Structures are given as structure tokens and as C-alpha cells.
């Protein structure tokens, strides 16, 4: 007879999911539908008219009509300036809805300048004039989304956002593991070469070896660590190191 108190297989530790749960709760009010609802609730009647006017100006009438046919207001899909000015954090809501990771949206195109909206809820003075162009770009993307799916609902919006958020949380967790591994490796490397160190920063160790040659150990990315020798006429690459952290041994070679 099986004793339920003594499992024959190891117990899986769902620590990552527990961490994701609390992160999810912390961003729910910033980037999910709750954020739009709370923002709309704070907008006065006059501003609601401005919101509706901007929606009619920025969004194709057919796309607005399609969203309305499912009982939804236009702003759940289409960002307009008055909404982002009222709550800049909502840029994260629309980014997640469009299926764009932070890296893809802010690092691989012209949108990096707007990162402060999502992260700090701020619109700098120089950016305020560019908000209409940002909204128009996202509205055109949202129109493609609205016309490309069979059904529209708040549930579908939430599910699409979660599909984008999942890899983002996973990537953030992996980045944290990598950063801790890099710190540990830096400390080990420093201990090994301490007698030879001439200069040191948080990301660099400059040393002179037993042969009197200048060697530079640099911590960056791709590769994570690069060791070079400084000659009179050139810099000669010696070693490149990729740091692996965590317990996944699949990439060890």
C-alpha cells in the first residue's frame, strides 16, 4: 500500500511560480485592465469627451465599430494622448497587448525614449510633443490585431497580455541568476589574481603578470568575460568566457 506521506519521487519546488505570483500582483494595477478602469474612473466628464474625440480622430471607424460590437470601449485597444498623459504607465498595458517584450519594444526600435512612461510613470517635457506620434503607431498596430482575430473580450485581452508577460518574467528571473553568477565569478577571478592587480573597477581588472605584461580582464556581455593582453602596437585577445548560472546543466559543454 502506498503511503501518501512518503512520495517515491522528489518533491518539485515551485519557488519560481510563487515569485511570479507576487510579481504579477504588483504589476496588475499598472499594466492590466484594472489600470485602464481606474484611470477612466478619475477622468472628469469633460475629459471623457476629449477621449472620445481623440479615439474618433486616431482610430479607423471600422475598427472602432468592431470593438464596440463586442461591448468594449475603444481605449481598451487603442491608446490616445489624453489617456497616456493621464496615466503614462498604460504604455505597458498596450505593449503587452501588442505582444512586444520590453527588449523588443525599447531596444530594437525608436521607442526606447518612451521607457520612462512604463517604468516611472513619467513623460519628460521633450517627449510630450511626441506622444501623438507614439499613439498613432500603436493604434495602427492595434487595428491589425482587432481585425485579425475572431473574438474580442476583456478575457482575451488579459490572456494575450499574460502570454507576453510570461516570457518577460522568465527572462527577468534568468537575468537575475546570470547577474549573481557574474558577481560570484568576478570575486573568484579577483581572488586568483589579487597579487598582480594594478587597477580595478566594478567591471574591469587591470593586472601585470609575471612576465611584466599588461593584461585586462573585462566583464561585459557577449562574451561575458574577455581577457586581453595590451601590447605596444595592439591589443591581443587571449580568452573569452561565457558565464552560466543556475542549475540547468543542459548547456554545459
Q: How far apart are CA 162 and CA 156, in angstroms?
A: 10
Domain boundaries defined on the chain: 15-152, 180-241
pLDDT at 239: 83
Cβ-count burial of 149 within 10 angstroms (0-12 exposed, 13-18 middle, 19+ buried)?
Answer: exposed
The DSSP-derived string for the chain is ---TTS-SSPPP--HHHHHHHHHHHHHHHHHSHHHHHHHHHHS-HHHHHHHHHHHHHHS-HHHHHHHHHTT--GGGT---HHHHHH-TTHHHHHHHHTT--HHHHHHSSGGGGGHHHHHH----HHHHTTHHHHHHHHHHHHHHHHHHSS---HHHHHHHHHHHHHHHHHHHHHHHHHHHHHHHHHHHHHHHHGGGEEEE-SSEEEEE-TTS-EEEEEE-SSSSEEEEEE-SS-EEEEEEE----SS--TT--
Print pLDDT tens along the chain (253 aa).
566 666 677 777 777 777 777 777 777 778 888 888 888 888 776 578 899 999 999 999 999 999 999 999 999 999 999 999 999 999 999 999 999 988 889 988 899 999 999 999 999 888 999 999 999 999 999 999 999 999 999 999 999 998 888 766 665 444 555 566 677 777 888 888 888 888 888 788 888 888 888 888 888 766 678 888 888 788 888 888 777 665 555 555 5
Say if residues 98 and 145 touch (Cβ distance below 8 Å). Answer: yes
**Rounded Cα distance, 135 and 116, in Å:** 15
Amino acid at each position: 500500500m502506498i503511503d501518501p506521506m512518503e512520495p517515491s519521487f522528489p518533491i518539485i519546488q515551485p519557488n519560481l511560480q510563487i515569485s511570479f505570483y507576487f510579481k504579477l500582483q504588483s504589476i496588475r494595477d499598472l499594466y492590466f485592465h484594472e489600470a485602464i478602469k481606474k484611470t477612466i474612473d478619475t477622468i472628469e466628464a469633460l475629459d471623457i469627451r476629449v477621449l472620445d474625440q481623440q479615439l474618433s480622430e486616431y482610430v479607423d471607424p471600422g475598427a472602432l465599430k468592431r470593438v464596440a460590437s463586442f461591448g468594449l470601449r475603444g481605449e481598451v485597444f487603442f491608446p490616445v494622448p489624453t489617456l497616456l498623459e493621464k496615466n503614462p504607465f498604460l504604455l505597458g498595458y498596450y505593449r503587452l497587448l501588442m505582444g512586444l517584450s520590453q527588449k523588443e519594444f525599447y531596444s530594437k526600435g525608436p521607442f526606447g525614449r518612451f521607457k520612462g512612461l512604463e517604468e516611472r510613470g513619467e513623460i519628460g517635457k521633450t517627449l510630450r510633443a511626441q506622444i501623438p506620434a507614439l499613439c498613432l503607431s500603436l493604434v495602427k498596430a492595434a487595428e491589425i490585431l482587432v481585425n485579425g482575430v475572431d473574438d474580442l473580450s476583456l478575457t482575451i485581452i488579459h490572456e494575450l497580455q499574460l502570454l507576453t508577460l510570461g516570457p518577460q518574467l522568465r527572462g527577468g528571473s534568468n537575468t537575475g541568476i546570470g547577474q549573481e553568477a557574474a558577481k560570484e565569478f568576478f570575486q573568484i577571478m579577483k581572488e586568483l589574481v589579487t597579487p598582480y592587480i594594478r587597477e580595478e573597477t566594478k567591471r574591469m581588472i587591470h593586472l601585470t603578470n609575471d612576465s611584466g605584461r599588461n593584461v585586462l580582464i573585462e566583464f561585459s556581455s557577449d562574451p561575458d568575460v574577455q581577457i586581453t593582453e595590451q601590447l605596444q602596437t595592439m591589443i591581443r585577445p587571449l580568452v573569452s568566457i561565457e558565464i552560466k548560472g543556475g542549475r540547468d546543466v543542459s548547456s554545459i559543454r
